Structure 1
Amino acid sequence: MKQITFYLDLISPYAYLAFEELPMELLGLSYSVTYKPVFLGGLLKHNGVLGPAEVPPKRAWIYRHVQWLAHSKGVVLDMPAVHPFNPLGLLRLAVATDAAGLPNRYVCETLFHHVWRGGADAGDARRLAAITQSLAPVQDPAGPEVKAQLKAHADEAIAAQVFGVPSFEVDGKVFWGVDALPMLRAYLEGDAWFTDSEADTRWAGVHAVPSGIPLRSA
């Protein structure tokens, strides 16, 4: 059985779509998933890049694209009343539902639906209070332990070279984006592309490709 670590931020519509699609995309395979909430803003800051919604034309395209993807997959997706929003309250709540800071699939589903179904304000304090009561966290979402656990998830993600969400890490390999799910499935199935004589060149060898412009060090 393969162990997949799913790095997610509830602010990301692509993370929501990947969460919804994962069971069907990997149907029939033997695997387990550990869900690790991370603050996408921290990953972006570490890598010195703007968030997707901070570039106006890109923001507009993303909102169109995710609604199309949801429509094409038969997934309910309603744009929240405000986006982007500060997701830290929801991320800390997710972490707080488990002593080790690892929310289960039910918790992640509940929080994703809180954001991406119904079209309400995901950052509304009253809604946060209500969903906190519903999920009955075992830790204080505002406590230092939870904040430390959330930061530890991000530190681990950065060490694994995760730069965005959704990201799936398995066997030291990171697969990024909802469109990487077929590639992830192929890896789990043992596709020869990942194991033949050229596999190392395809995967690790990309770091040796020279760049014609200056690159920022991670």
Structure 2
Amino acid sequence: MKEITFYLDFVSPYAWLAFEQLPQVLEGISHRVVYRPVLLGALLKAHGNPGPAGIVPKRAWTYRHATWLGHSTGVGLDMPARHPFHPLPLLRLALECSQDGSINRFTAGAILRHVWQGGHDALDPARLDALRAALAEQLRGDPEQAKQLLRANTDAAAARGVFGVPAFEADGRLFWGHDSLPMLRASLLGDAWFAQHWEAAASVEQGLGG
């Protein structure tokens, strides 16, 4: 059985798209997915990356592209009323549903739909209360423990080389982005390309001086 670690932050539209398409990508492969919430902002900061929202034209393109992908794939994606937003309340709520830093697919899906379906404000207090009520049977920890788990998840992800979300780790390889899903599937199926090119493609000499 293959184990895939799915690093996600609910603020990412591509995390939602990948979440919805992952079952189809993994069809026919014996697998277990571990969902790990991480703080995208901390990962971006660690690499000096402003993220799409920090570059005005890229922000506009990202929102158009993500919305188009939601339409073209049939997944559906509505931009929330405000974006980006601080995802800490959602990440910590997710990890109140955890004892070890991982969450189940039900929890991940409920929070992602809360953000990416309907075009509402993801941090509206009444909606957050309703989301907490919907997850009541999943709640296992407390807010302080959730903070610690989020910090540990994010630090561990950074140590593994994760620089953005969605990211997937399987068989010792990291895959980044919604568009890496076909590559992830090929790797899990043992495509011979990986033995020949995975390391070689990343070992090209740096062409810019320090």
Q: TM-score range by the shorter chain?
A: over 0.9
1:110-129 correspondence to structure 2 within 5 Å: 110-129=110-129
Q: Report what 1:133 is aligned to.
A: 133
1:204 aligns with 2:190: no
CA contact 1:38–1:153 (8 Å) conserved in 2: yes
Report the CA distance shift for 1:34/1:194 in structure 2 as closer, same or farther (over 3 A): same
Report the equivalent of 2:83.
Answer: 83
RMSD: 1.3
Distance change >3 Å, CA 112–CA 214, structure 1 → 2 = farther
The match for 2:104 is: 104
SS at structure 2 position matched to 1:208: coil
Counterparts of 2:22 and 2:82 in 1: how far apart (Å)?
A: 26
Please tell me the residue identity of whatever aligns with 1:127.
R
Amino acid paired to 2:187: Y
Corresponding residue number in structure 2 for 1:7: 7
- Residue 184 of structure 1: SS of its match in structure 2? helix
Task: Kindly state the Cα deviation for residue 132 of structure 1 after the two structures are TM-superposed.
Answer: 1.3
**Does 2:64 match 1:64?**
yes
What whole-Å deviation, never above 9, does each CA across 1:111-144 have from its counterpart, x for those lacking one?
Answer: 000000011100122221221122122212x31x
**Alignment CA distance shift 1:152-1:120 (3 Å):** same
Q: Distance in 1 between matches of 2:209 and 2:75?
A: 40
User: Distance in 2 between the 1:67 and 1:45 partners?
Assistant: 26
**Superimposed CA distance per residue, residues 65-100 of structure 1 (whole angstroms, 9 cap, x where no aligned partner):** 011111111012111000000100000111111222
| Cα separation, 2, equivalents of 1:206 and 1:148 | 37
- Provide the residue aligned with 2:149 in structure 1: 149
State the alpha-carbon separation in 2 of the partners of residues 172 and 159 from structure 1: 13
- Give runs of aligned pairs for residues 169-188 of structure 1, distance below 5 A: 169-188=169-188
Deviates more, 1:126-135 or 1:53-62: 126-135
User: 1:193 — aligned with what?
Assistant: 193
State the one-letter code of the partner of 2:90: L
The residue type equivalent to 1:190 in the other structure is G
* Structure 1 residue 203: Cα displacement: 2.3
Shift in Å at residue 24 of structure 1?
A: 0.8
Q: Which residue identity does 2:170 align to in structure 1?
A: V
CA contact (8 A) 1:4 1:33 kept: yes
Q: Distance in 2 between matches of 1:21 and 1:207?
A: 27
**In 2 relative to 1, CA 207–192 (structure 1 residues): closer, same or farther, beyond 3 Å?**
closer
Q: Which residue of 1 aligns with 2:51?
A: 51
Q: CA deviation at 1:57?
A: 0.3
Contact kept, 8 Å, 1:95 with 1:149, in 2: the verdict is yes
CA distance in structure 2 between the partners assigned to 1:62 and 1:33 by the alignment: 27
| Range moving further from structure 2, 206-215 or 28-37 | 206-215
**Is this contact kept in 2: 1:94–1:101, CA < 8 A?**
no
How many residues of Structure 1 are paired with residues of Structure 2 in the alignment?
208
Q: Give the letter aligned to residue 168 of structure 1.
A: F
Q: CA 1:214–1:93 in 2, change beyond 3 Å: closer, same or farther?
A: farther
- TM-superposed CA distance for 1:27, in Å, is 1.0
